[in-house]
Structure 1
Amino acid sequence: MQPLTFFLNPAARKVSTLALAPKIEAWAKAASVDASLVSPNLEELPTTLATCVDQGRIPVAVGGDGTVHQLVQHLLEQSLFATLPMGSGNDFASAVGWATNFDEALRQLSTARPVALDAVSVEQGGDRVFLTLSIAGWGFACDVNIQANASNVPGPLQYPVGVYQALAKGGTRTVRLTFDNGDVVEGRFWTVLPCNTSTAGGGMKFSPNADPQDGTMEVLALGDVSTLGLTALLGRVYFGRHLSHPQVHLWRCQSVMLEPLDEAEGAWSPVQAEGDVYPGAASTTFRSIPGGLRTLVPATSSLA
């Protein structure tokens, strides 16, 4: 196996991932793998990652979806990386087949295989703002993350608590969606979610049939329902049973431009992915990049 550098996120979960170092070192010794461990802060991450790649090593994100998100922002397209789930949200790792148990995921790494995955480039004013391999969001989805990030509630409970706090403050907003085939949709929506994979928020099945290897993305929009109606709808999302609802809209495309229509200049609703929130704009384009990055997946993964 190619040499690996494990990027440990000390903020993942309640227990520092640094406590996992002995397990990783023992696995590497038993598997005869050249492994190094680093724990850079956000300022150090770009330089540390560049050194790793320049040395021909595969970066491994040890943490949750947020750790993966931070890592891929600094990778060139078609770069190879891996992940081991150890965060409060592990939707990406689960989507590509990793066990949720860290010890089992570490064993899976021994026979992991590289595959190409699509990515979603999120752009404003012609410039890329961020890249995601999972699900991006605008509207209520962003409100939830803002509330969850500000919460003192631990781990997996953060997202449900964020949902109910955002429900108390949120509402629908008018938006125009322009798709790459020329179709234009205007309406009031709670949220718009460009989906590369199927789940976010700790297993909520927003787009059950999204395929990160088909060169497209699915765009899910939750329409003009009451707060009580949205609460009931979100309960169905956990089981992927929401798509038949008349106010749930789903489109497949290669790109979509989102324009808020009822917001004041400079007060645009933000966008987000994997818990990281970014400023909004008069228009934001979500663009699928077929085979945008490569990642290691377990030999048993359906993507292998």
Structure 2
Amino acid sequence: MTSEITLFVNPAAGRGRGAHAARPAACALRAAGFTVHTVVGADAGDALARARAAVAGGTGALIAVGGDGLAHLALQAVAGTRTPLGLVAVGTGNDLARALGLPVRDPAGAALLVADALKGARIRDIDLGLVGDRWFGTVLASGFDSRVNDRGNRMRWPTGRARYDLAMLAELAAFRPVPYRITFDGGDVREIEATLVAVGNGSSYGGGMRICPGADPADGLFDVTIVGDCSRRTLLRVFPKVYRGTHVDHPVVGVHRAAEVRIAAADVSAYADGERLGRLPLTARCVPGAVRVVGP
């Protein structure tokens, strides 16, 4: 493997942590003997074009310095190639890094781990989800959770996690279960009333909410968590358990495993890796070994 690698940086990640993390990460990689080129785009489209150019140019690895948003963008550049992806996770969520057992908010430590792993060829293939031409590494969300995202993205105040806590309270007051039509692996259409449907390649979203606690990004299958028709009171009891992954023991929650999932519902958005995909319907396909990752 070439010693020339690319640092892919989101300077705004984690309210500025991306910019602060880039320097110690680059220093650690250079001290380990790597030649580091840095990519910072003017916007998401420009950043992705630059990352893809680096991959096409034969960079030894693409190292994403940021949160799940940048990791999602990096996946679009490396999926389906032999270029490994490393993560220096300094965002607010960092769920892909958690799924891979990588350090969070420790840029120098993460970069040293990446350097050691590259030198030791500790690189493995993991699955990705694919919707149209968009890849995702963690969870595709639709329903109550995606509406919280929709509302939070429209809000200008407060900032940070408090914005989404407030959006969640507002959605709880307004939410009604959604009629879904779901198909697993091309089988019969299932018509259900549900609060949310989450398709997990990884186990968590939202900064450690283990919505699909059994998901394994190397088994060729999604874990699909369905929270059924329930009252606000039940939802308030069930939702806090998501942080421990124990919500799946509640009778209102079901888990299915499938390689392909088609989800349809009226007026519902879908988010994957925290990024908006658009409105349902959509089909998500689990692609085994779609990306190489640098790991512990």
Common fold, TM-score beyond 0.5?
A: yes
- Secondary structure of 2:234 counterpart: helix
Structure 2 residue aligned with 1:125: none
Indicate conservation of the 8 Å contact 1:78/1:291, yes or no: no
Residue of 76, 95, 102 corresponding to 2:99: 95
Alpha-carbon distance in structure 2 between the residues aligned to 1:149 and 1:129: 23
Alpha-carbon distance in structure 1 between the residues aligned to 2:227 and 2:111: 38
Deviations 1:205-238 (A, max 9, x none): 1111110000111111111111121111111111
Tell whether 2:135 aligns with 1:131. Answer: yes
Alpha-carbon distance in structure 1 between the residues aligned to 2:109 and 2:25: 12
Indicate conservation of the 8 Å contact 1:92/1:134, yes or no: yes
Which amino acid counterpart does residue 210 of structure 2 have in structure 1? K
Indicate conservation of the 8 Å contact 1:233/1:242, yes or no: yes
> Greater CA deviation, 176-185 or 55-64?
176-185
Indicate conservation of the 8 Å contact 2:12/2:19, yes or no: no
Deviations 1:220-273 (A, max 9, x none): 11111111211111111111111121110110011111122xx3xxxx311111
Alpha-carbon distance in structure 2 between the residues aligned to 1:162 and 1:83: 29
Structure 2 residue aligned with 1:115: 124
Tell whether 2:209 aligns with 1:200. Answer: no
Alpha-carbon distance in structure 1 between the residues aligned to 2:222 and 2:34: 36
Structure 2 residue aligned with 1:33: 34
- Secondary structure of 1:146 counterpart: helix
Indicate conservation of the 8 Å contact 1:89/1:156, yes or no: no
Structure 2 residue aligned with 1:225: 230
Q: Which has the higher helix share?
A: 2
Alpha-carbon distance in structure 2 between the residues aligned to 1:92 and 1:48: 22
Residue of 66, 70, 74 corresponding to 1:71: 74
- Which stretches of structure 1, 4 residues or longer, exceed 3 Å deviation after superposition? 150-162
Gaps of 5+ in 2: none
TM-score of the pair, normalised by structure 1: 0.88
Which amino acid counterpart does residue 272 of structure 1 have in structure 2? Y
How far the C-alpha of 1:172 sits from its partner, in A, is 0.8
Structure 2 residue aligned with 1:150: 154
How far the C-alpha of 1:110 sits from its partner, in A, is 2.0
Deviations 1:101-120 (A, max 9, x none): 22321221122221111111
Indicate conservation of the 8 Å contact 2:200/2:222, yes or no: yes
Cα separation, partners in 2 of 1:34 and 1:164, compared to 1, 3 Å: same
Deviations 1:37-78 (A, max 9, x none): 121121212321122112221211111111111222233414
Residue of 155, 176, 180 corresponding to 1:175: 180
TM-score of the pair, normalised by structure 2: 0.90
Alpha-carbon distance in structure 1 between the residues aligned to 2:226 and 2:176: 14
Structure 1 residue aligned with 2:109: 104
Gaps of 5+ in 1: 123-127, 299-304
Structure 1 residue aligned with 2:287: 289
CA RMSD in angstroms comes to: 1.8
Structure 2 residue aligned with 1:271: 270
Deviations 1:88-112 (A, max 9, x none): 1101111101111223212211222
Identity value in percent: 30
How far the C-alpha of 1:21 sits from its partner, in A, is 3.4
- Secondary structure of 2:12 counterpart: coil
- Secondary structure of 1:73 counterpart: helix
Alpha-carbon distance in structure 2 between the residues aligned to 1:95 and 1:158: 25
Alpha-carbon distance in structure 2 between the residues aligned to 1:159 and 1:117: 30
How far the C-alpha of 1:191 sits from its partner, in A, is 0.7
Indicate conservation of the 8 Å contact 2:25/2:88, yes or no: no
Structure 1 residue aligned with 2:192: 187
